[in-house]
Amino acid sequence: MTSAQTVPDPPAPDQLVDRLDGVLERIDAAARRVGRDPQEITLLLATKLRTPAQIAEVIELLRQRERRIAVGENRAQEIAKHADPLLADNGVPRHFIGRLQTNKARDVVAFAQMVHSVDRPDIADALERRAQMAEKTLEVLVQVNTSGEESKGGFAPELEAVTGILERLRESPVLRPVGLMTIGANTTDLEVVRASLRSLRELRDAARAATGIDGLTELSMGMSGDLEIAVEEGATIVRVGSAIFGPRP
**Residue 3 clears pLDDT 90, i.e. is over it:** no
Residues 14-49: pLDDT tens digits? 789 999 999 999 999 999 999 999 999 999 999 999
Which pLDDT score, from 0 to 100, does residue 6 have?
53
**Does 181 have pLDDT greater than 90?**
yes
d(Cα 34, Cα 41) in Å, to the nearest integer? 13
Does residue 9 surpass a pLDDT of 90?
no
Q: Do 181 and 142 touch, CB atoms closer than 8 A?
A: yes
Helix segments in the chain, DSSP class H: 13-33, 52-64, 105-111, 121-134, 159-170, 190-211, 227-232, 242-245
Does residue 184 surpass a pLDDT of 60?
Answer: yes
pTM here? 0.92
- Using the predicted structure, report yes or no on whether residue 5 has a pLDDT greater than 60: no
